[in-house]
Amino acid sequence: MSESRRDLYEVLGVAKDASKDTVRKAYRKLARELHPDVNPGDEAAEEQFKEVAAAYDVLSDEEKRKAYDEFGFDSLQTGFDPEKARAYQQWQQSRRHTGYQDVGGVGGFGGFGGGVADMGDLGDFFSRIRQQQASRPRRGGDVHASLSVDLATAMKGTQVSVDVPSVGGTRSVQVRIPPGADDGDTLRIRRKGAPGANGGPAGDLVIEVRVEAHPVFERDGLDLRIELPVTLHEAYAGAKVPVPTMDGEVTMTIPAGSQSGQTLRLKGKGVARGKKIGNLYVTLKVLLPKPGDEALSAALKEAEALYEGDVRAEVKA
């Protein structure tokens, strides 16, 4: 691995002791900002997106993160064996205790101890390591893919087919997107990635879920939000009005004297995820009739007397 690569924690902008939840939130934020769908034609953003995805792939996996914390980028090399790396470190320490001097560094294991007198032993050591690594089973690489679904599909869940590399071509893998999936969620399907070598296990299939924007509803976690136009009379006198939800139309009561911008809640009409379910928040948008009706204009002018005090008092400097 190149030493010029940025530290994976730095890539995601989190501390080394960051929790899994903190790592996930940082990744989702960056993935939304850098995704190729959001930055079409921006090669720099695309490269950053790949870098962020690669960092998250390591730091979201407990075993990979532990190995990275101990061995750095060396742990990400194909065929890297942490047990052999630790064995080499122990060998290195034992050689130093004999009085030999360091003569340099070896990629993959760090610096090694020994002088000219022990180069033969060291060569035999690496020869054995290379032979073992060439024949040992190796895990296949992870395959990353992005799937776009609409809001209704994300809420209900679905099953899709994804083509992944296989020996001699590709194979189809069925992927289940669970109900309530959110934009930026990552699904990891074990052993469905690239095939391993020498009988080693396959890698994982890592799916990033992209939830498309809805023309009416805005998603906020498990909650949904909608702006609902209402008439002047409905807002002033109160009314029962139809409101669309993702489950179909329902009737909602608008209290008398409601103001434009006021938000009402429909409990349990949001996104269901596991045992949790969100709400639908309805923001009222009071619409006036088109100007030109003299009777209405006169009535509204008379209504000016019903306001208590200066309506703009709160916004004066």
298-312 pLDDT, tens digit per residue, is 998 998 988 888 888
Confidence at residue 70, expressed as pLDDT on a 0 to 100 scale: 86
Confidence at residue 155, expressed as pLDDT on a 0 to 100 scale: 97
Domains 143-211 and 218-315 fall in the same CATH topology: yes
pLDDT for 107 beyond 50: no
**Pairing mode, strands 205-211 and 143-149:** parallel
Reported as a single tens digit per residue, the pLDDT across 249-279 is 999 999 999 999 999 999 999 999 999 999 9
Lowest mean pLDDT of 37-41, 86-90, 189-193, name the range. 86-90
Higher local confidence (pLDDT), 314 or 286: 286
Integer Cα distance of 30 and 18 in angstroms: 16
pLDDT for 114 beyond 50: no
pLDDT for 84 beyond 90: no
Domain boundaries 143-211, CATH class: mainly beta
pLDDT for 166 beyond 50: yes
In three-state form (DSSP H/G/I as H, E/B as E, the rest C), the secondary structure along 155-205 is: HHCEEEEEEEEECCEEEEEEEEECCCCCCCCEEEECCCCCCCECCCCCCCE
pLDDT for 106 beyond 60: no
Confidence at residue 309, expressed as pLDDT on a 0 to 100 scale: 87
Reported as a single tens digit per residue, the pLDDT across 121-163 is 555 666 666 666 667 788 888 888 889 999 999 999 999 988 8
Higher local confidence (pLDDT), 292 or 281: 281
pTM of the prediction?
0.60
Integer Cα distance of 176 and 200 in angstroms: 25
Integer Cα distance of 16 and 26 in angstroms: 13
Nearest Cα residue to 43 out of 54, 52, 34: 34
Per-domain residue ranges for the chain? 8-135, 143-211, 218-315
Mean of the pLDDT values across residues 27-38?
84
**Is 1.10.1040.10 the CATH classification of the domain at 218-315?**
no
pLDDT for 286 beyond 50: yes
**Is 1.10.287.110 the CATH classification of the domain at 8-135?**
yes
